Amino acid sequence: MQSLNSSSSPQAAQGGWPLGIWLAVLSMSFATFAIVSAEFLPAGLLTPMAADLGISEGLAGQAVTATAVVGAIAALFANILIGRLDRKLVLIGLSMLTVAANLLAAYATDFTMLLIARAALGVALSGFWSLSSAVVARLVGIGAMGRGMSIIFVGVSLATIAAPSVGALVSDFYGWRTAMFLAAGAAAIATVLQVFALPRLPTAAGNNLMGILRLTTRRGVQLGLLAVLLVAGGHFAGFVYVRAFLEQVTQMSAAGVAMTLLAFGVANFFGNLVGGAIADRNQRMGLATVGILMGLSALGLAFFGAELIPAAGLATIWGFAFGAGPIVLQTGVARAAPDDLEGAGSLIVVLFQVSIATGAVVGGLLVDNMGVAYAIGFTGIMALGAVALSTAPRPQVVPAE
C-alpha cells in the first residue's frame, strides 16, 4: 500500500479526497465506534453485571472509572513505547487489544478479572486517541484536519447514543456477557477494516516524555489545553447531573428525560459535522462559537429549566455545542504543535481525562452543597471562559528542538 509520511497530498488537504483516503478515515471512524462503545457499554449493564459477579452496582460502576484512570496514565507513555513502529500496525494492535479486553470482560468470573479487562481497554483507548489526530492529519492534511476529525467523531456520537441502550436491550434478552461478545465482534470488524483500508504510516522518529512535556511551554499549546479544561471540565461538571436536573427541577417524566437525552445525542452528532467545517475555516471562531452556545444554553437551563419546552430546547443546543467542542479543541492544539502531532495528541488525552474527573468532582460538590442547578450553571460559566481564550494572541509556532 501507499506509504504516507508527514502529510498527505495537497489534493487531500483541499478536500478532494481519493477513495483510498475516504476508506482509511472511515475505517478509523468505525474503530472509534467500537472502542467508545466498549468504554460506555457498562452504563447499560451495571445491574445484571453486579448481580452476576456478586458485587454492588457502585463497585461495578468503577469498571468505567478504571478505564479512564488507566487511560490518563497510559496516554503519556503509549506514544513513547511504540517508538518508530508503523502507525498502521499500532492502530491494528490497539483494535486487537480492544477485542481481547472485551472477551476478557465477557469471561470475567470476579471483579478483579473485570478490572484487568477494563484497564486493558483503557490502554487501547488512550493509545488510539493519542494517535488519532496525528494520523488524520497525515491522511488528509492538517488544513482539512477538522473535517477529518469530524468523521472520526461520528463514531463517538453513535457509540454514545447506541452503546448503553443497545447493551441494556441485549443484556435483558441474552445476558450482559453476550453484549460484551458483540463489542468484541465490533472491534474485530474494525481490525479487519484497518488492515485493508489504512495505508502504511511509517515514522522517522519516536517520541520521548521530555519532548511531549516541552510542548506545554508553547503559548498556543497552553491556551489550547486551558480551553480543553474549561470546555470539557465544565461540560462534565454539569452533564453528569443533567438527568437529575430534568427529573428534579423540570420534573420531566422518564419518557421525557429519555427523549431529551436522545435529542442531546442527535444534536451532538450534527455538532460533530459542523465543528469540523468551522475548525478548518477559523479555529478561533470555532472556539468562540462552542463557548457561547454551550455557555448560554447551560446558564439558560440553570435559570429557566423549570419549564419543559425551554429545558428540552436548551439541552439540545448544549448537545450541539459540545458535539463541535472536541473537534475544535483537538484541531487548535494540533495546529499549535504541527511538528509533534502525536505528542500534542497525548497531552489532549491526558487533559480530557483530567477534565472528566475534576469536572465530575466539582459538579458533585456543587450538587451536594448548593443544588443541581448550580452544577449546570457552573458549566455555563466555564464555557464562557473559553470565549475569552478565543481572543487571546497566539505567537508564531516555534518547533521544539
Residue 348 pLDDT > 90, yes or no? no
Q: What is the 3-state secondary structure (H, E, C) of 150-192?
A: HHHHHHHHHHHHHHHHHHHHHHHHHCHHHHHHHHHHHHHHHHH
Decide if pLDDT at 305 tops 70.
yes
Q: Do 40 and 61 touch, CB atoms closer than 8 A?
A: no
Sign of the dihedral defined by the CA atoms of residues 142, 144, 149, 155, in that order: negative
Round to whole Å and give the CA distance between 225 and 216. 9
Report residue 347's pLDDT band, with 50, 70 and 90 as the boundaries. confident
Structural contact between residues 278 and 363, judged by C-beta atoms closer than 8 angstroms: no
Residues 177-220: tens digit of each pLDDT: 999 999 999 999 999 999 999 999 887 666 677 877 888 888 88
- Segment 334-363 mean pLDDT: 81
Q: Give the model's pLDDT for residue 96.
A: 97
CB 215 within 8 A of CB 340: yes
Beta bridge partners of 187: none
Structure-model confidence comparison of residues 276 and 193, the more confident one: 193
Q: Measure the CA–CA gap between 197 and 275, rounded to whole angstroms.
A: 25
The CATH T-level fold of domain 209-389 is Growth Hormone; Chain: A; (1.20.1250)
Residue 398 carries which side chain, given as an amino acid letter? V
pLDDT of residue 6: 44
Amino acid at 274: V
- How confident is the prediction for the chain on average, in pLDDT? 84
User: What is the model's pLDDT at position 3?
Assistant: 40
110: pLDDT strictly greater than 80: yes
Q: How far apart are CA 138 and CA 132, in angstroms?
A: 10
Whole-structure pTM over 0.85, yes or no? no
Q: Are 86 and 32 in contact (CB under 8 A)?
A: no
pLDDT at residue 58, as a whole number? 67
- Closest Cα to residue 386, out of 295, 321, 299? 295
Return the CATH fold of 10-197: Growth Hormone; Chain: A; (1.20.1250)
pLDDT > 90? residue 149: no
Helix axes 111-140, 308-336, angle to 10 degrees: 60
**Domain coordinates in residue numbering, the chain:** 10-197, 209-389
Backbone angles phi, psi at 384, to 5 degrees: -65, -25
- Give the cell for residue 226: 486551558
Please give the pLDDT value at position 359: 82
* Same-fold call for 10-197 versus 209-389: yes
Q: Select, from the ranges 14-23, 189-198, 303-312, 391-400, the one with the highest average predicted confidence (pLDDT).
A: 189-198
pLDDT surpassing 50 at residue 393: yes
Q: Which residue has the higher pLDDT, 92 or 386?
A: 92
Residue 1 pLDDT greater than 70, yes or no? no
Residue corresponding to grid cell 486493558: 120
